[in-house]
Every structure is written in C-alpha cells, then in structure tokens.
Structure 1
Amino acid sequence: MPRRTATMLASTLMLIALLCAGVLTPVPYAAMSPGPTVNTLGDHAGEPVLQISGHRTYATSGHLNMTTVRVTSADYRMNLVEAVYGWLAHDDKIVPHDTLYPDGKTEEQSTQENAEEFSQSQESAKVAALKKLDVPVKSWVIVSTVIKGSPAEGRLHAGDVIKSVDGTTVRQPSDVAKLVTKHKPGQDVVFTVVPAKEQAAAEKQHTTATKTENVTIRTTTSKDTGARRAIVGISAGTDHTFPFSIDIKLADVGGPSAGLMFALGIYDKLTPGSLTGGTFVAGTGTIDDDGTVGPIGGIEMKTVGAREKGAQYFLTPADNCAAAAKDTPSGLTLVKVKTIGDALGALKDIRDGHTADLPKCTVKG
C-alpha cells in the first residue's frame, strides 16, 4: 500500500475513532435554545390566553408576547460532539448542567418548582396590573408548602390562612419565619389559622372566613447550610381575592419570567385603546405584587426567539440589559424596564412614535 494512501487511511480511522469517542463521552453540560413565544393578547391552543369576566374589557391590537427558553431535561446526558456543536451554534447556549439543575435536582422536582413559580407569577401579574389601575385587591398570608416529614406535616396544610403566630398578627410572609425563629429548637409555637377549606368556602360565597383554629407545633432544628435555627417545616406565601375573574390559560410553560407580559396584557384588556398601537412588542421579566420587574435567565435565547417571530421591541429587565445588548438580534430594539410603570411609559412612546425617547439597553446596562 502506498505510503500516502496508508497515511490517509490512518488519519480517517483516527478521525472516526475520535468522533466515536466524542459521541460516547458524556459531558456535564446542558443546552438552552429559543423556545415558543406567545401573544398574551391573543389565543393559544384554541382559546384566549387571558380570560376576564365580571368586568368590562376592551379590544386590543398588536402583540405583547411572553417568551420562553427550551432546555434539555435533567436526566439528559449530553455528549462531547453535541457540546461542541452547541458552542459553535449561534442560537444555542451550552451551560454547566448544575446551572439548570443544582444539587442534583430531578426532572420531576424541576417541573414542580417551575409550575409553582409560574402560578405565583400569574397571581403577582394580576395584583400588579390591578394595583396600577387602582382596583382594590384583598391579600393575606397563607401556608404555601409543607415539607414532608416535618413537624408541621398533618398539622398545617397548604392554603391555610396564617392570622398570627404566638398571638402576634402576621402581615406578610416574612413575618412567619421571624416569629418562629425567635424560639429555640424543641420549643412550641402556636399558629392561629383559618383552615384552607373554610377559606375556600368563604371565597366561593364572597364572604370573609371567621372560623379560626389554634395549632401548636413543636419546633425542630434546621438542617440546611445556614445557621442552626428553629423551624416547623413550612414556607409562607401570599394569596389574593380579586373583585372579578382573571384566568390565564397557558399550558406547558413554567417559571416566573412571564409575569411582566401577563400584567401588561391584563392592563391592556382592562383599559380602552391599544397599549402597543398595533406594533409587535415582546418581553420578559418577573414581577412582584408592587410591579417591580426582576431579572430572568436565558435572555439571549429569548431575544432571538422574539425577533424570529417578528418582534420589533423587547421589554428587558434592567438587570438583564448588559447581557442582552452584547448580541442583540438585528432589527430588535431592547427597552430597559424596572417597573410596570416603566413598561407602560415605554409602550406609550412606541405607540406615539417617540422611539428616540425609549430607555434602551446598552452593554453597560
């Protein structure tokens, strides 16, 4: 066999061997790519995304699209070839597996957590929009979750309204932990609660629940990485009663990042005229009850997905601006927002044609 032919054959076999090794070699990475984008003012899967009853609504136009990121599953093991391809691909992002699934989080745990965050973001979006419209919303502190095997299991239940702890009135979720940790592990703490069933029945009849129960729970010692402290094994959250029905119909989506766009969609439907002036606006960002917009993950993927669908403007959380501005898709204007008020002001500039006045994102933030 001629030397040149032998050399080429050896090189080919070596390349094949390297490719096989790359395919068979798992690496501790995961992939992120642009996910679906949905117009909160429109329909999805055959029904309106935002469904409001019991209050007058108005016609809307244009787009207020929420955006998503598609990620590989927790149990997917990427190989070296896929990782290299992802690093070279412009629209994908390869990140350490632990970035998406820290502490060995399973797919089931991640899905549950995302569902809870998505549900909370919907509630906060409703509250933020109605507060901006000066529509009163009733709020109270509830038991959000009960840890399995904790002292609170079987004593307190998700949805119980926490009126007081040791006789001290609870006004916000953080009050609960502060009052419990005043105890030493092993001491008793007394919760005064409205049982979840009583609260649900009262809400259904549009009345106020008055039946309360005192529940005594013996505290135990925390087992996390923080300072040793007394706990009972619950997390507290906030629930609300709205003066009319607002339903958000969007399946197979998780996480808190659609909060801002849901709030804007609700606001648009409850006010005359069009917030967008008929333009295609997309965006992202968490939102709290007071309308503060927070940062999200995967901003680069979301701007790409929005532009591919035709977005002209992208409402961007201020803390994500620097990352987003490093690689802005052509034809997309990144608009910096910190609150729902900022977003509404930017939308007014867009529909009035005053785009030079928009607070734009830069690589410096």
Structure 2
Amino acid sequence: MRKIQLLLIFTILLFASSFYYLPYYVSKPGMAKELEPIIEVDGGYDEEGSFMLTTIRMGRANVYAYILAKLDEYSEIHPVEDIRAENETDEEYTMRQLHMMDTSKTSAIEVAYKKAGLPIEYDYKGVYVLQVIPGMPAEGKLTVGDRIIEIDGQRFSSSKEFIDYVSSKQEGDQLTFTAETDGSKREVDIKLQKFDETSERVGIGISLVDDKEIKVQPSIEMDTDEIGGPSAGLMFSLEIYNQLSKTDLTKGYAIAGTGTISTDGTVGRIGGIEQKIVAADKAGADYFLAPNEEGAADSNYQIALKTAKDIKTSMEIIPVNTFDDAVEFLENLPAKTS
C-alpha cells in the first residue's frame, strides 16, 4: 500500500511539473516546407523541383523540455529575455512575429516583381505597433496591434515619414495619435520624451512596422497563417519570381534556404541556422542558400558550413548576399538528371 501511495504521489508531481514553465524557451529543428503549395501567382509557371523554406520549433521550456534540450546537440535553450521584449506577453510576441512575417511577404513580392520587370503599387494604411516600451509615454495609451493612421491629423506614406515627423519635435511636445483597433478609432494625446539621459532622440516608446498593401498584376495569394517571423523572405522571393518566369530556376532540384529580404534585395541574417540545416537535410534538399553577410567570419553561411560538415550531409551550402546572387547561382545550375 505504501508503494502505491508513493507511486501515486510521484505520478501527480510528474504530471504537475509538466505544466510548470521555466524562464527559458527551447528551439529545435523544424521542417522544410515546399513553397509552391502555399504561394500562387495567377497564371504562374510550374516548376520541376521545389523551393523550400526552413523552420525551427520554438516553445516555452518545462523541466522535461529543458533536460531533453540539454541532451540534444541541435536543440538550443534561450533565456526568455532573449526571445521576448521586456513585459511582452506570449500573445504580443506571437502578434509581433506575424506582423514581421507580413512585412517579409510584402518585401519578397516587391523584390520578385521588380526583378520580373512588373509594376508595383502600394496602398499605405499607417503603422502597426509591435511593442510598447515600459516607462515611455505610450505605455497605457497604445497597445500592441494598434494601427496608427494619423498624427496631429496628418497621414503619412511610410514609416520613415512617421518617424521623421516625431523626431522633428521637442521633448515635452504633445502629439495627437489616431489609432485604430478592430475597426474602432480613438485619439490619444501623448507627450514626447527622450529615450534615455544620454540621448537627444525623442519619441513615445514604440517599435513599429508599416501597414501597407502591395498591389501587383498578376495577382498573388500567399497562405502563411502558420508561419511567423521574417526569415523566409529570401525563399518567398525566389518562389514568386520563379512562378513569374518562363525559365524554371529549380532545374529539378530541391532547394532550401533562409534569410530575411529587404526591398533592395539584401539578404539578412537569421537565427537558428544550425537547426534549419538539420531540417533541410532531413527533407532531402540538394542545396541550401545561406546569408553570407558580406563574408563575415561568423556569418550564417560559415555556421551552416560547419553544421553541414558535422551532420555529414551531401547537401551543398551556397553563400548569398543578395537576391540577385541567389538567382545568378540558380541560373548557372545544370539541369538535374535522373
């Protein structure tokens, strides 16, 4: 009877501890996902091979996840403060990731359509609030997810104009922000404050991203509801451009990769490159495009090379600094033979 009681107590403690989260996140290799099924350019061309985005799996660590991550070479443990901003909730973090994904998609569309020589138009709607900095004037007046559509009755055509307007004011100046949440508008008066004692810069204490709708022909649909963050930008742009082009850049290969994309085509650094190499290798990718960061010694490309060697993959790692670098490499690939 005593043994049964102890076993029962142990089972209850074991179960309860699985719901106790430590102040850490754990990331591990995710998947390599083909992009053709989730990106559709109207009347776009088919491809023989595939472009694949790569993901990592990220979640809060309980005791067991923490222990397993310690034992797994390709799992990483991250302090909460390295993942979430101060006082940021899980919901706010998720919203920030989704808005970053939307920005990444817009940049990828712009890069691909420009490369294809097709016109682009924007419908600028304002800026989204991604983060409210504790202790700054916006705290308690604006919330993550608010869309600011006007300041002092003025509309802007980019976040740069928005920032320039605020920066032109003085500490203590009061501005009126028109914010929209779920279709409901409100006005809030916020005084400007220096960011810190050593800075002359003033602001209200938010991080933001453009809310703009890109208009292109042919039209494009992207189903990315389950993907967050900006790291798929490069692969989005390649898939879109390939569907716009008569020549199939995949040449029959499975091509994975990662990297942010800016509107000028620059490919940027991302996190979790080691785990993405593992995911791409498991998916059978032939090539992996990695941010080269202009040849930096600790670039994503250099880390990817080391990981590829460690796991003894036959997948070839390709350094890219720009979208054009990636296109040039693919154009020079010989067609895959069966």
Aligned-partner residue type, residue 51 of structure 1: E
Unaligned runs of 5+ in 2: 1-9, 181-186, 293-298
How many Å separate the matches in 1 of 2:275 and 2:236?
A: 19
Q: Distance in 1 between matches of 2:99 and 2:196?
A: 21
Indicate if the aligned counterparts of 1:222 and 1:228 stay in contact, CA closer than 8 A: yes
Question: Partner residue of 1:264?
Answer: 238
Q: Which of 212, 220, 241 is matched with 1:239 structurally?
A: 212
Q: Is the 8 A contact 1:140 1:172 kept in 2?
A: no
Q: Which amino acid aligns with 1:342?
A: D
Measured after TM superposition, the shift of residue 141 of structure 1 is 5.0
1:296 to 267, 270, 290: 270
Give the Å deviation of 1:352. 5.0
Give the distance between the partners of 2:55 and 2:30, measured in 1 at CA.
5
Conserved? CA contact 2:108–2:263, under 8 Å: yes
CA distance in 2, matches of 1:312, 1:120: 29
Q: Distance in 2 between matches of 1:174 and 1:226?
A: 23
Aligned to 2:284: 310
Instruction: State the alpha-carbon separation in 1 of the partners of residues 104 and 240 from structure 2.
Output: 13
C-alpha distance 36-173 of structure 1, shift in aligned 2 (>3 A): same
Among candidates 299, 302, 321, match of residue 338 of structure 1: 321
State the AA in 2 paired with 1:33. K
Task: Indicate conservation of the 8 Å contact 2:195/2:205, yes or no.
Answer: no
For the Cα contact (< 8 Å) 1:279–1:351, is it kept in 2? no
Alignment-derived partner of residue 47 in structure 2: 60
**Contact 1:222–1:230 under 8 Å retained in 2:** yes
**Residue number in structure 2 paired with 1:69:** 56
- The equivalent residue for 1:78 is 63
Q: Which amino acid aligns with 1:220?
A: L
- Counterpart of 1:51? 40
Q: Name the CA distance, whole Å, in 1 between partners of 2:226 and 2:202.
A: 37
Q: Kindly tell me: are residues 106 and 225 of structure 1, through their superposed partners in 2, closer, same or farther at Cα, counting changes over 3 Å?
A: farther
Displacement of 1:137 in angstroms is 1.1
Residue 106 in structure 1 maps to residue 89 in structure 2: yes
Local SS of the residue matching 1:72: strand
Instruction: Give 2:101's match in structure 1, choosing from 88, 93, 118.
Output: 118
Query: Where does residue 131 of structure 1 map in the other structure?
Result: 114
Identity of aligned residues (%): 27
Instruction: Give 1:184 deviation, angstroms.
Output: 1.7
Distance 1:303 1:218, change over 3 A: closer
CA contact (8 A) 1:30 1:78 kept: no
Query: Structure 1 residue 27: deviation in Å?
Result: 5.7
* Aligned equivalents of 2:197, 2:95: Cα separation in 1: 23
Aligned match of 1:144 in 116, 119, 127?
127
Q: Secondary structure at the match of 1:277?
A: coil
Q: One-letter code of the match for 2:99?
A: E
In structure 1, the partner of 2:4 is none
The count of aligned residue pairs is 297
Gaps of 5+ in 1: 1-15, 44-48, 197-214, 354-365
Task: Kindly indicate whether the alpha-carbon contact (under 8 Å) linking 1:139 and 1:238 is maintained by their aligned counterparts in 2.
Answer: no
Aligned partner of residue 326 in structure 1, secondary structure: helix
**Residues 283, 27 of structure 1: alpha-carbon distance in 2 compared, 3 angstrom cutoff:** same
- Say if 1:107 and 1:216 are closer, same or farther in 2 by CA, change over 3 A: closer
Distance 1:68 1:92 in 2: 13
Structure 2 residue matching 1:90: 3-state secondary structure: coil
- Match status 1:32 vs 2:35: no
Separation in 2 of the partners of 1:88 and 1:190?
Answer: 53
1:184 equivalenced with 2:170 (yes/no): yes
Structure with larger Rg: 1
Distance 2:122 2:159 in 1: 11
TM-score computed with the length of structure 1 as normaliser: 0.69
CA distance in 1, matches of 2:333, 2:35: 18
Is contact 1:38–1:67 with CA below 8 Å preserved after alignment? Answer: yes
Q: Distance in 2 between matches of 1:326 and 1:87?
A: 20
Cα deviation, 1:269-299, whole Å, max 9, x if unaligned, reads 1111311100111001111112111111100
Give 2:305's match in structure 1, choosing from 315, 325, 332: 325
TM-score, normalised relative to structure 2: 0.74
CA–CA distance in structure 2, aligned partners of residues 246 and 30 of structure 1: 35
The 1-side partners of 2:114 and 2:125 are apart by 21
In the TM superposition, what is the alpha-carbon distance from 1:250 to its structure 2 partner? 2.6
Please give the secondary structure, in 2, of the residue aligned with 1:239.
strand
Superposition deviation, residue 242 in structure 1: 1.8
Residue deviations 1:66-97 (CA, integer Å, cap 9, x gap): 01000123xx4335xx5454233233223334
What letter is aligned with 2:238?
L
1:208-235 per-residue CA deviation (whole Å, 9 max, x = no partner) reads xxxxxxx996643256798365435663
Which structure: greater strand fraction? 2
1:306-329 CA deviation, whole Å, 9 max, x = no partner? 110100100101131122222214
